[in-house]
Amino acid sequence: MSVTHAAAPAAEQGADTRPAPPRTTRGRRRVWGTVAFHTSAGLISALWLVPIAVVLITATRSFDDIAGHGLGSAPHSFTLGGFRQAWVDGGQQQALINSLLVSVPTVLVSLLLASMAAFALSRYDVPLRRVLLLLMLSGNLLPPQILLIPVSKLSEHLGIYDSLYALIGVQVGFGVGFYVFVLHGFMRAIPPEIQQAAVIDGAGPWQIYTRIILPLARPALAALTALAFTWIFNDLLWAITVLRSDTKMPITASLLGLQGQYVSQWNVIAAGSVIAAAPTVLVFLRFQRHFVAGLNLGAVK
Amino acid sequence: MAVLTAAGRRTSRGGRKRATRVPPVVLAFVLVPLLAEGFWVFWPALQGFYLSLTKWDGISPPQFIGLGNYREMIHDTVFHTAILDTVLWLALFGGLSAVLGLGAALLLQQERRGVGFYRAALFLPVVFSLTATALVWQAMYQPDGLINKTLSGVGLGSLTHPWLADQDTALYAVIVPALWRQIGYVMVLYLAGLKGIDPALYEAAKVDGASKWQQLRHITLPQLRSVNAVVLSVIIIDSLRSFDVVWALTRGGPYHSSELLSTYMYSTAFQSLRLGYGSALAVVIFVLAFGVIASYLVRAFKEAD
């Protein structure tokens, strides 16, 4: 029902905010449409926000409160003790540092490499450039499961098993194909005249890349940065494949450790989840526009 | 093919000659990333296929056994469960996230007061890790958690349940958090697709007296065809990769009732240390994904030109 109302063209929507009470049947229908819209959208949003609210509340309750009144009851206490326990005793501080130590270099290196490849493939007649582009994309589309065992053995052979370098290496290799594909599409749209002018002025490929194409590709790079950061930060599978020591685990894996260590101490587990989600939520809030644009970059043209 | 090269060569040189004049630094720009990907992705992938034909404990050298692992799968009941659950996951998780994501996009497509808040509410879980999502929902599913509490509160106490511990409900209980996180993502893709539809089409339809339902059926849905293809590919690839949320909630249990191919592959390889059999399971996942990857690439191939 409400779907059809929402589909009404934008021209009619102005009437909703007009102060005069609508008298006609059309006007009344519009009011009902607005009410129906806000009721349905509000209910859905509440459904989506309740689990988040529950976790925030649980994280600030004391263990005795949860044990005494039950996990699903209203809070009878307020404490930040759960956060301290997760942060210090649960090792979440180290885990958060590990996550950042992996995510930041991975994003920088993979976007640097990807932008170079995308520049070359989109601006020059590199032989077989279409085949190369799709080969790189296909690497990212492979199910990671086929790579897990060989990659863990490969990092053992290189002597970097159980080190953050292994995680950075595989994250860069696995992600780069998708970023090349997206950046290629973006850079291809830059008019060739800009580049020709630079060539006439005597600029070489390196100068064209750093001074012209990279600055022009900034919107796409910003979007991919926001997106890649959340993907890498949120990864669990690669981390538990190439890492072993608890002290090296990123925050996702550490959260699972917390779950095992603090069974039924829901205030600590909830606090841990909040800590693990905070950085990506911050990135999202700060770069919301870029983030959403990034999701659409590779998908919708 | 009409891309002008940096040197601006517009003279009538042959294609071959032009290709040879790409500066070496530009070739390096392609080769370095390609080597990185080859080293960490393509070379391991080839090894993965080979390992699927071996019996290997990870310590002594792999022993070639041909199709032995695949023959074993035929009689492996856990594998059967994992295949069935994966198909169920594809249908339920994939189908529902596409339909509900489209529904949310249709509901929230119009710019009106408050719509930004609703969109943000649906989108917020997308930025959480699936691990954190899983733990959030584990708290909801606890015997004394909010879900059971609410059920008793509204007089449906007979429905309360140890959701994750019951073989009959574990898989569905795991799908819900996955959906909670995925729907906002699909919604964003559809919102962008809806924005791209020419409003003149709706104007014309209204002049012809088309109802809202007819407009949806004959304009919106056909116009979304290219987005549908992307959403479908994303969902299928995501479904086959799905691991985090199941691993964090149930690890495939109880009694393999929520086992997916991906979780079974992981536990076989890294917990039972049957690396050959694990590789064969990974190849099965690859084969299932391959059709999707191939059709996605065909689409990308057309666009890339």
> What letter does residue B54 receive in the DSSP assignment?
E
Nearest 10 degrees: CA dihedral of B228, A237, A184, B36? -150
**B contact test, residue of A5, A48, A155, A297 with most B CBs within 10 A:** A48
Distance separating alpha carbons of residues A250 and A94, to the nearest angstrom: 8
The fraction of chain B above a pLDDT of 70, given in percent, is 93
| Subunit contact A45:B240, Cβ cutoff 8 A | no
For residue range B168-219, list pLDDT tens digits in order. 999 999 999 999 999 999 999 999 999 888 889 999 998 998 888 899 899 9
Angular region, B273: left φ>0, alpha ψ -120 to 50, beta rest: left
Structure token pair of residue B248 = 């964090």
Mean pLDDT of chain B: 87
Return the pLDDT at A237: 94
| Subunit contact A137:B297, Cβ cutoff 8 A | yes
- Give the residue on A whose Cα is nearest the Cα of B108: A6
Cβ of B200 under 8 Å from any chain A Cβ? Answer: no
Distance separating alpha carbons of residues B301 and B305, to the nearest angstrom: 7
Cβ of B45 under 8 Å from any chain A Cβ? Answer: yes
Closest alpha carbon to A1 in B63, B80, B121, B213: B213
Spatial contact of B260 and B248, defined as CB atoms under 8 Å apart: no
Cβ of B44 under 8 Å from any chain A Cβ? Answer: yes
CA A142 to chain centre: 19
Residues of A with CB below 8 A from B41's CB? 139, 142, 147, 173-174, 177
Cβ contacts of B34 within 8 Å, gap of 6 or more: A117, A132, A135, A136
Cβ of B49 under 8 Å from any chain A Cβ? Answer: yes
For residue range A168-223, list pLDDT tens digits in order. 999 999 999 999 999 999 999 899 898 889 889 888 899 999 999 999 999 999 99
Q: Is the dihedral of CA B243, B299, B195, B100 positive or negative?
A: negative
Distance (Å) from the C-alpha of residue A177 to the closest C-alpha of chain B? 8
> What letter does residue A89 receive in the DSSP assignment?
I
Cβ of B204 under 8 Å from any chain A Cβ? Answer: no
Distance (Å) from the C-alpha of residue B168 to the closest C-alpha of chain A? 23
Distance separating alpha carbons of residues A210 and A206, to the nearest angstrom: 6
Distance (Å) from the C-alpha of residue A295 to the closest C-alpha of chain B? 7
Distance separating alpha carbons of residues B33 and A114, to the nearest angstrom: 7
Q: In terms of DSSP H, where are the helices of B68-114?
A: 68-75, 77-89, 95-107
| Subunit contact A147:B48, Cβ cutoff 8 A | yes
Closest alpha carbon to B245 in B144, B164, B124: B164
For A244, other C-beta atoms within 10 Å of its C-beta total 12
Structure token pair of residue A52 = 């988040």
Spatial contact of B38 and A138, defined as CB atoms under 8 Å apart: no
Q: Is the dihedral of CA B76, B82, B88, B91 positive or negative?
A: negative
Distance separating alpha carbons of residues B105 and A7, to the nearest angstrom: 10
Residues of B with CB below 8 A from A120's CB? 22, 26-27, 29-30
Residues of A with CB below 8 A from B148's CB? 72
CA angle, B261 then B186 then B193, to 5°: 140
Across chain B, the runs of DSSP E, i.e. the strands, are: 54-55, 63-64
Return the pLDDT at B122: 93
pLDDT confidence tier of residue B11, bands split at 50, 70 and 90 = very low
CA A231 to chain centre: 5
Q: Concatenate the DSSP letters of all residues of A279-295 into one string.
A: HHHHHHHHSHHHHHHHH
Measured CA distances, B185 to A131, A230, B235 (Å): 30, 13, 10
Q: Is the dihedral of CA A164, B289, A231, B302 positive or negative?
A: positive
Cβ contacts of B122 within 8 Å, gap of 6 or more: A44, A45, A48, B104, B108, B183, B184, B187
For residue range B66-86, list pLDDT tens digits in order. 899 999 999 999 999 999 999
Mean pLDDT over residues B26-34, rounded? Answer: 94
The closest CB to that of A113, out of B32, B108, B234, belongs to B32
Distance separating alpha carbons of residues B163 and A72, to the nearest angstrom: 15
Q: What is the pLDDT along chain A (301 residues), one digit of tens a residue?
A: 333 344 444 444 444 444 555 556 777 878 888 899 999 999 999 999 999 999 999 999 988 888 888 888 888 888 888 999 999 998 999 999 999 999 999 999 999 999 999 999 999 998 898 899 999 999 988 999 999 999 999 999 999 999 999 999 999 999 999 999 999 999 998 998 988 898 898 888 999 999 999 999 999 999 999 999 999 999 999 999 999 988 999 999 999 999 888 888 899 999 999 999 999 999 988 888 888 888 887 665 4
| Subunit contact A10:B111, Cβ cutoff 8 A | yes
Lowest-pLDDT range of A12-16, B39-43, B263-267, B272-276:
A12-16
Distance separating alpha carbons of residues A119 and A186, to the nearest angstrom: 10
Structure token pair of residue B237 = 């690839």
Residues of B with CB below 8 A from A143's CB? 237, 240-241, 262, 282, 285-286, 289
Residues of A with CB below 8 A from B266's CB? 145, 148, 237
Which burial class, exposed, middle or buried, applies to A27 when counting CB atoms under 10 A from its CB (0-12, 13-18, 19+)? middle
Distance (Å) from the C-alpha of residue A145 to the closest C-alpha of chain B? 5
Structure token pair of residue A164 = 């953050």
Return the pLDDT at B228: 87
Cβ contacts of A219 within 8 Å, gap of 6 or more: A186, A290, A293
Spatial contact of A212 and A119, defined as CB atoms under 8 Å apart: no
Return the pLDDT at A26: 73
Distance separating alpha carbons of residues B215 and B221, to the nearest angstrom: 9
- The pTM assigned to this predicted structure is 0.87
Mean pLDDT over residues B267-271, rounded? Answer: 93
Mean pLDDT over residues B266-277, rounded? Answer: 93
Which burial class, exposed, middle or buried, applies to A20 when counting CB atoms under 10 A from its CB (0-12, 13-18, 19+)? exposed
pLDDT at B117 over 80: yes
Residues of A with CB below 8 A from B27's CB? 120, 126
The closest CB to that of A300, out of B131, B147, B193, belongs to B193
Spatial contact of A243 and A167, defined as CB atoms under 8 Å apart: yes
Distance separating alpha carbons of residues B84 and B94, to the nearest angstrom: 15
Mean pLDDT over residues B106-134, rounded? Answer: 91
Which residue type sits at B273? L
Angular region, B211: left φ>0, alpha ψ -120 to 50, beta rest: beta
Return the pLDDT at A206: 92
| Subunit contact A125:B220, Cβ cutoff 8 A | no
Residues found in chain A: 301
CA A234 to chain centre: 7
Return the pLDDT at B305: 63
Return the pLDDT at A298: 64
Residues of B with CB below 8 A from A281's CB? 124, 127-128
Measured CA distances, A174 to A167, A197, B31, B37, B40 (Å): 11, 36, 15, 6, 7
Return the pLDDT at A270: 93
Distance separating alpha carbons of residues A89 and B112, to the nearest angstrom: 47
pLDDT confidence tier of residue B112, bands split at 50, 70 and 90 = confident
